[in-house]
């Protein structure tokens, strides 16, 4: 399709803001929604760098869709900037798992259209993770191996890393100089997600999802095509549980 030069320039200017900042304000949203040519061009620009445009009521976001994108945050970068010195892939898997548990805790059932809670306390987040870990432990070794192949998550290593952070064992770990509590780890995950614009710290040890997070969850985590049913697997065991905890 041939586009007028003015439209190409407008779209490219908008793309450069997204590439630089990862987001735009309301002006970008209005332009994206109102002009088919600019929307088409911007989507094309994003596709060329393996990204997608996420639009909320007030902002546009440029979000990497694959690990090939130059805007993708690498595992090594996360380790260096957020996890403790000497962090392993196990710490990274646990960070991802904690994020999935967080996202799922805001929704009543798999494929919910809207969040069913406004905020989450950090201690509740820890408790939800423990519940999901306990459920994972009901599978035997062979089952976990099969599930690891199906979902590409190292469930056994996640269990091991979480158990190693048991607060009851903290005094012994302090003596060895290798201490990290579950709440401390969750605070690190919260900081990472806040820096990515996915959660907002509202004080009193409480966080809430941003519009960016809600849009991404609906577009990807609630779609089996993208997530292979990961939230259904994690939360499908006790779907009624969240209604009891509101």
pTM metric for this prediction: 0.80
Give the CATH number of domain 5-64; options: 1.20.5, 2.40.128, 1.10.10, 3.40.50: 1.10.10
What is the pLDDT averaged over residues 170-191?
70
Going from N- to C-terminal start, the domains of the chain cover 5-64, 75-245
Mean pLDDT of 191-197: 94
Interatomic CA distance for residues 155 and 218, integer angstroms: 24
Q: How far is CA 94 from CA 37, 129, 169, 188, in A?
A: 42, 10, 19, 11
Segment 83-132, tens digit of pLDDT: 877 888 889 999 999 999 999 889 876 556 788 899 999 999 999 999 99
Answer whether residue 73 shows pLDDT above 50.
Answer: yes
Chain segment 206-219, per-residue pLDDT in tens: 999 999 999 888 87
Let me know: does 51 contact 64? Beta carbons within 8 Å: yes
Average pLDDT of span 170-192: 71
């Amino acid at each position: 399709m041939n586009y007028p030069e003015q439209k190409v320039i407008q779209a490219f200017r908008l793309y450069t803001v997204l590439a630089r900042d990862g987001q735009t304000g309301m002006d970008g949203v209005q332009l994206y929604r109102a002009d088919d040519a600019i929307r088409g061009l911007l989507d094309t620009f994003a596709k060329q760098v393996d990204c997608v445009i996420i639009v909320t009521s007030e902002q546009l976001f440029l979000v990497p869709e694959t690990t090939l994108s130059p805007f993708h945050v690498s595992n090594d970068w996360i380790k260096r900037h957020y996890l403790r010195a000497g962090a392993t892939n196990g710490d990274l898997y646990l960070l991802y798992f904690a994020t999935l548990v967080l996202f799922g805790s805001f929704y009543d059932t798999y494929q919910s259209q809207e969040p069913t809670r406004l905020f989450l306390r950090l201690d509740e987040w820890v408790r939800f993770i423990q519940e999901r870990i306990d459920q994972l432990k009901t599978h035997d070794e062979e089952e976990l191996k099969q599930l690891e192949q199906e979902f590409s998550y190292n469930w056994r290593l996640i269990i091991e890393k979480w158990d190693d952070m048991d607060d009851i064992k903290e005094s012994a770990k302090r003596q060895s100089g290798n201490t990290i509590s579950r709440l401390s780890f969750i605070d690190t995950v919260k900081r990472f997600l806040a820096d990515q614009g996915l959660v907002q710290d509202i004080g009193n040890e409480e966080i809430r999802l941003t519009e960016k997070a809600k849009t991404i969850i609906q577009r990807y985590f609630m779609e089996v095509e993208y997530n292979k049913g990961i939230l259904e697997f994690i939360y499908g065991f006790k779907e009624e549980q969240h209604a009891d905890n509101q």
